[in-house]
Structure 1
Amino acid sequence: MRQANLEGATFEGANLARADFHCGAGSCTDLDNTNFKNANLAGADFRAVGFTVVEEIGLPNVDFTGADLSGANFEGASLKGALLDGAKLCKTTLPDGKISNRNC
């Protein structure tokens, strides 16, 4: 499998539908309006995404519909405004630190 180093990349407005996309610690930022519909995001690290220093801004219009978020980590992140319909949340760490096993 080929891998790209996207450290510091901005994905605002990107269409990554059906992508096999993996994010490391701190690499999934600036995701506003990104389409992750049906994408493989298993194991992605979204910790603290959707926050600014001043306020919670969430993930406006980020579409995780049908995405595989198995084992992803959203601890401390904000999912405000994100679309999660049909997303696989198997062993997924939610913003409050609890583990979701939805659709395992």
Structure 2
Amino acid sequence: MTLPAGWEGIDQNFLGLEEPWCHPDQAGVYVLPVPCEHTSSYVPGSDRGPSAIIQASQQVELYDETLRCEPYREWGGVATIRSLDLDGKVDQQAVDAIEAFVTPYVGIGRFIITLTG
């Protein structure tokens, strides 16, 4: 399988999953990074949050001892969309842009996780 344009491969996807588990045709969960920085007054850098979370997620244990399974397999996988560029939109305009982007995916039954800063 080859990932379609706009989707991240193993080096940049949530949990570091390999194909087919990171393929959008199969995955029941999509992760959407939305880096943004708007009102930082002390130490800027919240726009790097989504990338840092994705990188850290690649180090977690995939097996859940309570559930006795690897949950991502139960969901059909987890696919990571390339970062959404808000193009300077903030506040309600940013929310509207995110909603417009994810609505088609929700419409086909995907569960969307949005990572933002």
Q: Which has the higher contact order (CA 8 A, sep 6+)?
A: 2
Under a length normalisation based on structure 1, what TM-score does the superposition of the two structures give?
Answer: 0.23
Under a length normalisation based on structure 2, what TM-score does the superposition of the two structures give?
Answer: 0.22
Tell me which protein shows more strand as a share of its residues: 2
Tell me which protein shows more helix as a share of its residues: 2
Q: Which one has the largest radius of gyration?
A: 2
